């Protein structure tokens, strides 16, 4: 391999490591930035919730939630919404918001910019945080001006 080709290879590798497409760490950094940018009145009210990133959901998880196997989840909220917590809610494991890296990257397309990836991450986080506050999918669809196809 020529020295020019080696240099280009090194530059390509470095660029991919800084890209959310090539690096799970870069993707996680975008998730952290999106969480940091939540409005203070939302962030202050989030309680006992962990946000994690996984490559994709398992087939068992997708089908057990009532989704079609070919339906890609971008994120998932698991826990007790704040509107359903009672006085006995204590000493429980944190609620969990999971963002699925590969479906999010697939959703924005192969040539999308880092800004487009960040925007999709932000939308997914807002959607899942809304579930944490007790807002269901039907209400979210209504608020977003969409109609959900009946399952």
In the predicted model, what is the mean pLDDT of the chain?
A: 82
pLDDT tens by residue, 112-146:
889 999 999 999 999 999 999 998 888 888 877 76
Residue 8 lies in a domain: no
Q: Phi and psi at residue 131, in whole multiples of 5°?
A: -60, -40
* pTM for this prediction: 0.77
H/E run at residue 25: helix 24-36
Residue-level pLDDT at 27: 93
Residue 18 lies in a domain: no
pLDDT higher for 84 or 121? 121
Average pLDDT of span 4-24: 61
Please report whether residue 77 resides in a domain: yes
pLDDT of residue 61: 63
151 found inside a domain: no
Query: What is the secondary structure of 77-129 as a DSSP string?
Result: EES--GGG--TT--S-PPEEEEEEHHHHHHHH-TT--HHHHHHHHHHHHHHHH
87 in any annotated domain: yes
Instruction: Say which CATH number the domain at 80 has.
Output: 3.30.2010.20
Q: Which domain holds residue 138?
A: 24-144
Residue 151 has pLDDT above 60, yes or no: no
Count: domains in the chain: 1
| Count of CB atoms situated within 10 Å of the CB of 132 | 22
- Assess whether pLDDT exceeds 50 at residue 17: no
Beta bridge partners of 97: 51, 77
Q: Model confidence at 87, in pLDDT bands (50, 70, 90)?
A: confident
Domain assignment present for residue 60? The answer is: yes
What DSSP designation does 86 have? Answer: -
Tell me if 17 is assigned to some domain: no
Q: Does residue 15 fall inside a structural domain?
A: no
């Amino acid at each position: 391999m020529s020295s020019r080709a080696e240099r280009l290879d090194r530059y390509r590798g470095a660029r991919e490591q800084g890209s959310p497409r090539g690096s799970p760490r870069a993707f996680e950094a975008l998730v952290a930035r999106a969480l940091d940018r939540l409005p203070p009145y939302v962030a202050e009210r989030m309680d006992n919730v962990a946000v994690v990133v996984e490559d994709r959901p398992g087939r068992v998880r997708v089908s057990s939630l009532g989704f079609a196997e070919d339906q890609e989840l971008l994120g998932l909220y698991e826990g007790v919404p704040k509107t359903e917590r009672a006085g006995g809610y204590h000493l429980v494991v944190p609620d969990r918001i999971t963002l699925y890296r590969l479906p999010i990257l697939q959703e924005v397309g192969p040539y999308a910019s880092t800004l487009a990836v960040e925007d999709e991450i932000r939308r997914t986080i807002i959607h899942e945080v809304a579930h944490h506050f007790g807002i269901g999918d039907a209400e979210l669809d209504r608020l977003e001006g969409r109609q959900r196809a009946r399952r």
